[in-house]
Amino acid sequence: MTENIGKIRVDKWLWHARFFKTRSLAAKVVSGGHLRLNGQKVLKPAQPVTGDDVLTFAQGREIRVIKVLALGTRRGPASEAQALYADLEPLAEKPKEVIPPAPRFEGGGRPTKRDRRQIDLNRP
């Protein structure tokens, strides 16, 4: 099997760059039509990617826009993977989500152990 120098499968590149945990997950995203290569929808995981290509895909709840800088030869450590791409839209710093306190027993929610003891003490 001969490989074109300067090209790699898009699913393999996404896996090398550590955007997906497994290559099959990357292939599933591509074949599901959730990836754009230079603005064009890609449906085949074997679509070749070269340097300076722009990939757009959803990762979690974020839309990632990535420019391919290098192809990579292996799935190495994260520092090596980050050298393969440039993030064109860096993830925005999200304000820390404020989690409301658990509902107390004043008619809503389940009573805590302490609330139950108070209820038991107040019973006739």
Q: What is the CATH classification number for the domain harbouring 82?
A: 3.10.290.10
Domains identified in the chain, total number: 1
pLDDT in tens, 4-40: 468 999 999 999 999 999 999 999 999 999 999 999 9
Phi, psi angle pair for 5, to nearest 5°: -70, 135
Is residue 30 in a domain? yes
Q: Which domain holds residue 31?
A: 8-87
Is residue 93 in a domain? no
Tally Cβ neighbours within 10 Å of residue 92: 7
Is residue 101 in a domain? no
In 3D space, the residue among 51, 53, 32 whose CA is nearest the CA of residue 43 turns out to be: 32
pLDDT in tens, 59-109: 888 889 999 999 988 999 999 999 999 998 876 665 667 777 665 556 667
Is residue 33 in a domain? yes
Is residue 95 in a domain? no
Q: Take residue 1 and report the two structure tokens written for it.
A: 């099997």
